[in-house]
Amino acid sequence: MSWSLVFHAIEQGLVFGLMALGVYITFQVLDFPDLSVDGSFPLGGAITAKIIFSGGHPLVAIFWAIIGGLLAGGLTAFFHTRLKFTNLLSGILTMTLLYSINLRIMGKSNIPLLGKITILDNIKSLFPSLTMDQLTPLLFLFIVLLVKSLLDYFLSTEIGMAIRATGDNEQMILSLGVDTKITKIIGLCLSNGLVALSGSLFAQYSGFADVGMGIGTIVAGLASVIIGRSIIKNGNIVWMTTSVIIGSIIYRATVMIALRYGYHFGFQPGDLKLISVVLVVIALTFPLVRGRVKAIVMSNDSSSSEKEQ
Amino acid sequence: MLRLRSVYKCFARGTSYEVNALTGINLKIAEGDFVTVIGSNGAGKSTLLNIISGTMLPDKGMIRIDHQDVTKKAEHCRAKYIGRVFQDPLMGTAPSMTIEENLVLSIKRYGRGLRLGLNNKRREFFRNKLAELELGLENMLSKKVALLSGGQRQALTILMATMFDPKLLLLDEHTASLDPGISKKIQTITQEIVKEKKLTTIMVTHNMQEALRLGKRTIMMDRGRIILDISGKERENVTIDYLLKQFAKLRKEEYIEDELVLA
């Protein structure tokens, strides 16, 4: 495995880590399986590409990408809390309608950003001594740590705790005077805002936005959350968000290894989504399988010891 | 303090499963009163508490708490008046959050902000409150609630329900699912807190002896109605036997009435 592969895995793991944090907020904190992220990730990319392509400043593009994500989350929350659709359907509706919105925003299915000024170029001009390969992971690390710290703080505030309690025991927090419709709205907006930010940075990093770039976002996000949580078991908020980011890096590394060396085993680039799902299934069943193996080993032990007697 | 006027609640109306859970409940409870509620399964006791807390809205009728009409108010809006402890110890606490975080959730009933939930002053306050329970919880502030026993969780729930000095405390068979030893301890804790804070309390129980021993007034419910309401001298002289006989008599009369109608 080459160093460039490791660096790319870390860079991508960090960029997608923001998306994984968003998925963590809905799936783990709110206990709300929100599929709208498959639409809000390319939404962030589409808004960013459109603005940068038209000559706008990258920071302005990032700002509007985040706003777009917040609105997308708000729409899912509206479907669920006001129109009383189930959480799954609400996400699917938003995800589907965002496909059309994204096409409208971009005006075509793909916008290349080659030769355009991105946030990476902006920061590069501030630190002329650094090469792009050094700067990119540092910048992403800085952004992820900043976002993670803000999220850690927010989830420890009174409102943040009410949001966590909403996913943990809704009846209880209702009886303690929290309107769970509002906590769900806040959680969904925040989550999709983060996912859109991730999409915005990914578009600038990879040099294009594509209307299909969101397919499977939810699976990648889930995989990161599950891998991270199975490595670090500490239930403290600071550790939980850390584990999600580490999970995201491990997931990206695994995907890259599969892509780079997979052709030895007959894999094609199109098999990527299949591999992602297999990874999620393995990560999810890992504790179960481990338990079974333990049980089998122990029963073998006891039966052999019985024979000895 | 609490006033219910001809409150009706029907489930699954118009189907063959139609249940008239509450049929014209009239109830007036004075400030500082402690009312125990008894009745067989399906009598409407839990529905009564759900209607008062706002978990369900009544079909008809009016509910007033502290001179405020709350008939149409959602549960979270009424929370500033009401503390509630459920029968299931799992229902009153958030399992994946720590003891101190659960307590943070209970100190405000509205106006939560972007201030950090925990600081040393609050921790110290929680530690003192938990020490009063004498269950050793004061040394487990940062432990997850999922790790506690049913009794410990219920004690924590009572503390959380009364943290904000509610106008009204609703106890729904809150010791029924605990083993006898801890159940007694939880009942003692409840009585101490109710006495100390002079809380207006409604306690649903299956235990008739407990219903007569605790509190100042006892209500018996049957098929969505209040069929007996005793307090003061009258209540002091009542025995469990009398209650059972009274209940059987009422049931029998109704049975005969039904017979006549059907004949």
Q: What is the CATH number of the domain that holds A211?
A: 1.10.3470
Highest-pLDDT range among A177-191, B102-116, B172-186: A177-191
**Number of continuous H segments (helices) and E segments (strands) in chain B:** 9, 10
Q: How many domains does chain A have?
A: 1
A112 compared with A231, residue with greater pLDDT: A112
Q: Which residues pair with B64 in a beta bridge?
A: B3, B69
Pairing of strands B60-65, B217-222: unpaired
Q: Which residues pair with A211 in a beta bridge?
A: none
pLDDT tens digit sequence for A111-126: 999 889 999 999 989 9
Give the one of A158, A164, A169 whose C-beta lies nearest to B108's C-beta: A158
CA distance B101 to B145: 9
A-facing residues of B in 167-206 (CB < 8 A) are none
Cα–Cα distances in angstroms (integers) from residue B8 to residues B193, B223, B224, in the given order: 32, 12, 9
Q: Which residues pair with B85 in a beta bridge?
A: B171
Pairwise CB contact (< 8 Å): A159 & B93: no
CA distance A145 to A151: 10
SS3 of residue B52 by DSSP: helix
Q: Is the pLDDT of residue B133 over 70?
A: yes
Highest-pLDDT range among A145-149, B62-66, B140-144, B164-168: A145-149
Sign of the CA dihedral running A108, A110, A116, A122:
positive
B192 compared with A297, residue with greater pLDDT: B192
Pairwise CB contact (< 8 Å): A175 & B75: yes
CA distance B216 to B240: 16
| 3-state percent breakdown (helix, strand, coil) of chain B, nearest 5 | 40, 25, 35
- Compute chain A's Rg from CA coordinates: 21
Tell me, yes or no, if A161 comes closer than 8 A to chain B by beta carbon.
Answer: yes
SS3 of residue B228 by DSSP: strand
pLDDT tens digit sequence for B169-199: 999 999 888 888 899 999 999 999 999 999 9
Averaged pLDDT of chain B: 89
Tell me, what's the pLDDT at B263? 52
Domains, in order of start, for chain B: 2-92+167-262 (3.40.50.300)
Tell me, yes or no, if A168 comes closer than 8 A to chain B by beta carbon.
Answer: yes
How far A158 CA sits from the closest chain B CA (Å)?
5
pLDDT tens digit sequence for A136-167: 999 999 999 999 999 999 999 999 999 999 99
Tell me, yes or no, if A46 comes closer than 8 A to chain B by beta carbon.
Answer: no
User: By C-alpha distance, which of B108, B98, B43, B114 is closest to B76?
Assistant: B108
Domain containing A25 equals 3-308
Q: Is the pLDDT of residue A306 over 50?
A: no
Tell me, what's the pLDDT at B261? 60
Q: Is the pLDDT of residue B147 over 70?
A: yes
Helices (H), ranges, A157-179: 158-168, 170-175
CA distance A74 to B136: 44
Question: Which amino acid, residue A25?
Answer: I
User: By C-alpha distance, which of B88, B76, B109 is closest to B172?
Assistant: B88
Pairwise CB contact (< 8 Å): B84 & A178: no
Pairwise CB contact (< 8 Å): B93 & A171: no
All residues of chain A having their beta carbon less than 8 Å from the beta carbon of residue B156 are: none
How large is the average pLDDT for residues A97-101?
97
How far B211 CA sits from the closest chain A CA (Å)?
25
Pairwise CB contact (< 8 Å): B116 & A153: yes
Question: Which amino acid, residue B194?
Answer: V
How large is the average pLDDT for residues B11-32?
89
Q: Is the pLDDT of residue A32 over 70?
A: yes
User: By C-alpha distance, which of A128, A100, A117, A124 is closest to A43?
Assistant: A100
Q: What is the DSSP letter of B98?
A: B
Tell me, what's the pLDDT at B30? 92
What pTM, to 2 d.p., does this model score?
A: 0.89
Q: What is the DSSP letter of B86?
A: -
Cα–chain center distance at B247: 23
CA distance B246 to A60: 77
User: By C-alpha distance, which of B74, B43, B45 is closest to B170?
Assistant: B45
Tell me, what's the pLDDT at A309? 43
Residue A55 class from Cβ within 10 Å (0-12 exposed, 13-18 middle, 19+ buried)? exposed
Tell me, yes or no, if A105 comes closer than 8 A to chain B by beta carbon.
Answer: no
pLDDT tens digit sequence for B212-240: 888 889 999 988 889 888 888 888 888 88
CA distance A96 to A72: 11
All residues of chain B having their beta carbon less than 8 Å from the beta carbon of residue A180 are: 76
Question: Which amino acid, residue B23?
Answer: T
Mutate to test the interface with B, among A156, A171, A175 (most CBs of B within 10 A): A175
Sign of the CA dihedral running A134, A136, A139, A140:
negative
- Strand (E) positions, chain A? 110-112, 208-210
Tell me, yes or no, if A179 comes closer than 8 A to chain B by beta carbon.
Answer: yes
Tell me, yes or no, if B165 comes closer than 8 A to chain A by beta carbon.
Answer: no
| Band of pLDDT at residue B250, cut at 50, 70 and 90 | confident
Q: Is the pLDDT of residue A300 over 80?
A: no
- Residue B34, token pair as written in the block: 């402690």
